[in-house]
Chain A
Amino acid sequence: MLMRRVSMVIAVTLVVIMLAACGAPAAAPAPTTAPAPAATTAPATGSATPSGALKFLSVQAENEGYTKIVNLLTAEFTAANPGVKYEFEQAPQTDLEQKLQLLASSNSLPLMFPSAATGTLIEMYRNGFVLDIEATFTELGIVDKLNPVALSLVRNLGNGTALGIPMELNIEGFWYNKKIFAEQGIAVPQTWEELVAAAEKLHAAGIQPFAASGEQGWPLTRLIGLYAQRKYGPDALERVAAGELKLTDPGFIEAAQAVQDLGLKGYFGPGVVTIDYATAVDLFVQGRAAMFYMGSWELRTFNDPTRNLIGAEQIGFFNFPTVPGGAGSLNDWPMNAGLTVSLGRAAYEANKPLADAWLTYVFERYGDRSMSELGAITGFKVENMPANTPQLTQMVQSQIDAAQTPMLWFEARFDSAATVLSQRNAQLLITGDMSAEEFMRALQAELDN
């Protein structure tokens, strides 16, 4: 009897130990209210040297793009402030949403991290996980460093609140091969009819009119969205989000139909839905396609002579053309702030003096340093334009400066489910496996869900 009791005690103890070990993942569901700010460490006085830990999570490698610039500036900052410990972590883009959800649910988002998808980001702000960038930068006295267009873009994405720092500022449009256009006697198209006529002429001459990555889907849906914005005006997609317009309205179906027609006529080349992003870029910079709709982030390829075989001087750029009976104008440009980054509220409030000092140091210098190191156009003002800036980059910068109304991309106001549906169904649309009406009907149904 005694033996049995002893063994029961041992067994129960073992169970308790094991359950305790396994208990951690089975935590209570995420908080539904705003997380309480973490306890602040010893608040430093205005003149004290900041110290503590900083963390930056990025989807880029540490020596790539904006991450490189942030890391360079942070290295200078930590050299001047030896008490500061800086931690950098790279997370793959594909797992980002999942990672951010997990970090948010345990209230351990780092100070700076890549913004989540639009819907999720707004949800995070509502629940107190991220900071209002405009308010924070105003408090730090660096809000005037932001390019107003970039600020309005990020504000627009966050339903009126800037939730992401515009690390890039991109303008989008058709890049074209000047040599091919000249040989075929084609003028830069201003209207949709002219664009289609140019494509027809190129196709007849055995030249692929457009390079596009159907595998990605978004380079195709960009065209649909822009056609609709040219039809209904630059605020067409905001009006869809507000419920004033429906995607099943005739103008949207006409937009999907117009892009489908380009696909069915073979203007995107054979097997467009199997073309990945890098191949699409290569088709254009190797002179195997005459036009390429893309954002100015591809300047990095156009300015790279080892990859761009047609030469930067042979590349021209034009705005998305106007459409018949449309309300849009050529002064409205599709623009975006690229991959933005957000600021975690809990980490910021945990050591505000350090966070303030670091953010001020980095973002006072970010615009100039990005331009001088990478030739990259960002959402920050460039105060000292380097003399050796490539001509194509200068041209893009002046287009950005001249742009009047920035237009959002097709899925900018969609949630993740509608975004995925749009980009996947674009593959069926372009090959004729789905009609323009079906495409828009399915998408509107998802938005209504």
Chain B
Amino acid sequence: MERVLRDRTAAVIFLGPALVIYVCILLIPIGWSIGYTFFSGSPISGFTFAGFQNYATLVQDRRFWDAFWFSTRYAIFVTGGQIGLGLALALFYHFYLKRSSALIRTLVFFPVVLPTVAVAAIFQKLFAIAPQYGVVNAVFDLIGLHSLVQPWLGRGQTAFWVLVIMDVWRAMGFYAVILYAGLIEIPAETIEAARLDGASGWALAQLVILPLLMPITISALIFSLNGTLKVFDSVVALTGGGPGNATTPLTLYMYRAAFTNNAYGYGSTIAVMLTLYCLIVSLLAYRFARRDV
């Protein structure tokens, strides 16, 4: 095999088509999009060269920074919740439920297969205040906590937490399964040996299980961060980015700039920034992984 790949001709023939497809469907559009960042206008009015104007506007655009901050906060809390609860669930499956965990695993995994729009519709009803109280407000009303009866999705602060809860609930089963797969790969002898040395409970988890689980945890972290930084569908389905722009992430802001406001250049500039942001976060995570694994 090595001899075959050392032959340049064979390498070109084997890799060439794949490389060309990759260039066509990934690199050309990225290059095209970067090109747009130096233009203003739309397909109807035509494009005019604008130099670095889009970048200058972006730096001073308060709505861009609001969206950037929202995406960051959302990524921190949702990724933290997805990985943290996923890990807790994986440990729960492995050490408490053991072989009888299949049913619970399936139930916790179930939201992953539900369409986002359906999940968002469920959460809208759960947190509704009108035309009638949703379950959450009804429970608060029932137990006399009237001050907590409120339009959860109608205020920026509370809508943010509803979104976080929804997306953690939706994906924690997925990360639990991934981490569980890592957990069952840890040799039983290692854990047995640690136990014989007197490790148990939190000490066992902290000193033996979590370090051994680190490679798969880092992979899960990168998956989750990339998903949460680029969140779009759940925000659109649950809050539409509102109230106002209080729950608008960078992706939705980019979409509106390009396709609602017809500012293709500015939308592309936001997209380039988002790509760079994801790249930097992923590189940091990889770096962290290389040091620790």
Chain A contacts to B: CB under 8 angstroms: 3-4, 7-8, 10-11, 14-15, 18-19, 21-22, 26, 29-33, 97-98, 101-102, 104-105, 120, 123-124, 127, 129, 214-215, 269-275, 279, 282-283, 288, 415-417, 420, 424-425, 427-428, 431, 433-434
- Considering residues A97, A98, A279, A427, which has the most beta carbons from chain B within 10 angstroms of its beta carbon? A427
Residue of B nearest to A432 (CB): B155
Residue of B nearest to A10 (CB): B13
Per-residue CB contact flags for chain B residues 122-164 toward chain A (1 = under 8 Å, else 0) read 0010001111000000000000000000110111100000000
CB <8 Å contact, A283 and B131 = yes
29 residue pairs bridging A and B, Cβ less than 8 Å apart: A4-B9, A7-B12, A8-B9, A14-B20, A18-B17, A19-B24, A21-B24, A29-B39, A30-B42, A32-B45, A32-B46, A32-B47, A97-B262, A101-B43, A101-B44, A104-B43, A120-B44, A120-B262, A215-B242, A271-B150, A272-B130, A274-B128, A274-B151, A415-B261, A416-B262, A425-B244, A431-B155, A431-B243, A433-B246
Chain A residues whose C-beta falls within 8 Å of the C-beta of B154 in the assembled complex = 214, 271-274, 427, 431
Chain B residues whose C-beta falls within 8 Å of the C-beta of A124 in the assembled complex = 44
Given A101-B262, A105-B43, A279 and B244 touching (CB < 8 A)? Answer: no
A141 to B281, CA, bound (A): 65
Chain A residues whose C-beta falls within 8 Å of the C-beta of B12 in the assembled complex = 7-8, 11
CB <8 Å contact, A29 and B43 = yes
CB <8 Å contact, B244 and A424 = yes
Q: Which of A8, A10, A18, A274 is the one whose CB lies under 8 Å from B129? A: A274
- Considering residues A8, A29, A434, which has the most beta carbons from chain B within 10 angstroms of its beta carbon? A29
Chain A residues whose C-beta falls within 8 Å of the C-beta of B13 in the assembled complex = 7, 10-11
CB <8 Å contact, A22 and B261 = no
Given A97-B260, A271-B130, A434 and B244 touching (CB < 8 A)? Answer: yes
CB <8 Å contact, B130 and A102 = no
CB <8 Å contact, B243 and A288 = no
- The A/B interface has a contact count, at CB < 8 Å, of 137
Is residue B1 within 8 Å, beta carbon to beta carbon, of the partner chain? no
Residue of A nearest to B15 (CB): A11
CB <8 Å contact, B155 and A129 = no
Chain B residues whose C-beta falls within 8 Å of the C-beta of A98 in the assembled complex = 259
Is residue B28 within 8 Å, beta carbon to beta carbon, of the partner chain? yes
Chain B residues whose C-beta falls within 8 Å of the C-beta of A269 in the assembled complex = 130
CB <8 Å contact, A104 and B44 = yes
Is residue B56 within 8 Å, beta carbon to beta carbon, of the partner chain? no
Residue of A nearest to B258 (CB): A98
Chain A residues whose C-beta falls within 8 Å of the C-beta of B259 in the assembled complex = 97-98
A187 to B262, CA, bound (A): 47
Given A271-B128, A416-B261, A427 and B243 touching (CB < 8 A)? Answer: yes
Given A273-B242, A283-B131, A428-B244, A417 and B155 touching (CB < 8 A)? Answer: no
> Told that A273-B153, A274-B153, A431-B155 touch, could you supply 18 new A-B pairs with CB distance under 8 A?
A4-B8, A19-B24, A21-B24, A29-B46, A98-B259, A101-B44, A105-B44, A123-B42, A127-B46, A215-B240, A271-B130, A274-B151, A420-B260, A424-B245, A425-B244, A427-B154, A427-B242, A428-B246
CB <8 Å contact, B17 and A31 = no
CB <8 Å contact, B240 and A102 = no
Per-residue CB contact flags for chain B residues 208-247 toward chain A (1 = under 8 Å, else 0) read 0000000000000000000000000000000011111110
A387 to B15, CA, bound (A): 75
Is residue B263 within 8 Å, beta carbon to beta carbon, of the partner chain? yes
CB <8 Å contact, A123 and B20 = no
Chain A residues whose C-beta falls within 8 Å of the C-beta of B202 in the assembled complex = none
